[in-house]
């Protein structure tokens, strides 16, 4: 079993499955636990580096299994110290992930799919074809690599993770959930679930499933309009997931988890920027405890949207606050290197570098 393609991806196995393989190999089951810890707690990428495993067993592992790790393809540093990475996967697909440093936190923005099947009109990833879902280990590896980057560049470990990169996390539900389990487990990276936020464009039935699974992490909904007609235009996913369907799903989610939700709202000039839009959003906010993050729009070449003026944004936020809605204005990070919200898309130069590697 020397051919690479015939080897088993060891990180696709849970502990019980790995133990079963060890028993088949006439090895003690507790050895599987040691290897599992090397893979997930110590983020080890080579059987040779597993120092408390015998040389004979390491050879056996190398013959039977493979560790399909993610590698950094290119990195760019923004004027504001944001670092954007293109990552290369074992099958040569490329994805992007971002380290966002601020005064009080180090945040990793990770991808959940290669491309995206949704077609949100303001998002560069939405103009890419969805190639495939990411595996749990591929999401986990992004976190490990970005954490290493944070420590090496800024001397501070990651404090937060946002699933806001390429793809729709809730359309890769099982793998996203498994990645979070590995990231939060004491046998994994041991990060608190409350430091993780999963952002969705709004898949009502999967929001309900999050409630059924009583998740402990935070949920953010990319809303951008609290009016079906406008939201259908900006985000075609709304045609199958109306605001009423989303509101009902969010109420169910809150009843099950008691987790407040964050609504992300980009104010586009002449589209969703007037006081009527603010009134509709304030009304939507009454369904469950929530907060609103008003996000600066980051223009992309595919779309004709532009950011609303400062006066309109302030008036919009002031109205929401007057209605008792917890409202924050978020400034974009990494805009100069296309690392900001809605800008992630693999560039031709990244593809060229990957092909040369």
Structure tokens at 260: 């407040």
Q: Give the active site residue among 37, 310, 341, 348.
A: 341
Does 334 count as an annotated binding residue? no
Does 199 count as an annotated binding residue? yes
Catalytic residue check, 63: no
DSSP string, 272-332: S-SHHHHHHHHHHTTSSSEEEEEE-----TT----BPPHHHHHHHHHHHHHTT-EEEEE--
Does 167 count as an annotated binding residue? yes
Question: Of 335, 120, 330, 124, nearest to 225 (Cα)?
Answer: 120
Q: Which parts of the chain are beta strand (E)? A: 8-9, 65-66, 71-77, 83-88, 94-101, 106-109, 113-114, 132-133, 160-163, 196-200, 218-222, 261-266, 290-295, 326-330
Does 123 count as an annotated binding residue? yes
In degrees and rounded to multiples of 5, residue 279 shows phi and psi of: -65, -45
Q: Which parts of 67-169 are beta strand (E)? A: 71-77, 83-88, 94-101, 106-109, 113-114, 132-133, 160-163
Question: Of 242, 227, 282, 264, nearest to 342 (Cα)?
Answer: 264
Does 298 count as an annotated binding residue? yes
Question: Cα(12)–Cα(335) distance, rounded to whole angstroms?
Answer: 35
Does 116 count as an annotated binding residue? yes
Question: Cα(123)–Cα(341) distance, rounded to whole angstroms?
Answer: 8
Q: Give the active site residue among 27, 37, 96, 129.
A: 96
Does 223 count as an annotated binding residue? yes
Catalytic residue check, 290: no
Does 44 count as an annotated binding residue? no
- Annotated binding site for S-adenosyl-L-methionine, which residues? 167-168, 199, 222-224, 298
Active site residue ranges: 96, 341
């Amino acid at each position: 079993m020397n051919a690479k393609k015939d080897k088993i991806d060891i990180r696709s196995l849970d502990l019980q499955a790995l133990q079963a393989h060890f028993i088949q190999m006439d090895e003690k089951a507790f050895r599987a636990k040691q290897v599992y810890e090397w893979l997930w707690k110590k983020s080890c990428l080579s059987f040779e580096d597993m120092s408390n495993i015998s040389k004979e067993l390491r050879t056996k592992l190398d013959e039977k299994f493979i560790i399909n790790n993610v590698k950094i393809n290119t990195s760019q540093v923004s004027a504001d110290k944001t670092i954007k990475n293109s990552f290369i996967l074992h099958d040569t697909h490329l994805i992007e992930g971002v380290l966002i440093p601020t005064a009080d936190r180090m945040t990793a923005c990770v991808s959940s799919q290669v491309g995206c099947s949704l077609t949100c009109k303001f998002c560069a990833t939405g103009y890419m074809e969805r190639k495939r879902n990411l595996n749990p280990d591929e999401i986990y590896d992004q976190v490990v690599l970005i954490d290493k980057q944070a420590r090496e560049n800024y001397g501070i470990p990651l404090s937060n993770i946002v699933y806001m990169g390429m793809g729709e996390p809730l359309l890769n539900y099982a793998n996203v959930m498994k990645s979070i389990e590995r990231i939060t487990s004491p046998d994994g990276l041991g990060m608190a679930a409350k430091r993780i936020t999963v952002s969705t464009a709004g898949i009502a039935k999967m929001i309900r499933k999050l409630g059924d699974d009583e998740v402990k992490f935070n949920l953010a909904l990319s809303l951008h309009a609290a009016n079906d007609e406008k939201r259908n235009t900006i985000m075609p996913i709304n045609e199958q997931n109306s605001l009423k369907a989303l509101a009902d799903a969010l109420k169910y989610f809150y009843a099950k988890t008691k987790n407040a939700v964050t609504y992300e709202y980009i104010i586009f000039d002449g589209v969703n920027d007037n006081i009527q839009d603010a009134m509709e959003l304030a009304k939507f906010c009454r369904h469950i405890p929530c907060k609103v993050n008003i996000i600066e729009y980051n223009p992309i070449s595919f779309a004709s949207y532009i950011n609303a003026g400062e006066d309109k944004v302030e008036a919009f936020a002031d109205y929401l606050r007057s209605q008792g809605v917890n409202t924050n204005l978020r400034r974009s990070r990494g805009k100069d290197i296309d690392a900001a919200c809605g800008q992630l898309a693999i560039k031709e130069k990244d593809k060229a570098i990957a092909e040369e590697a």
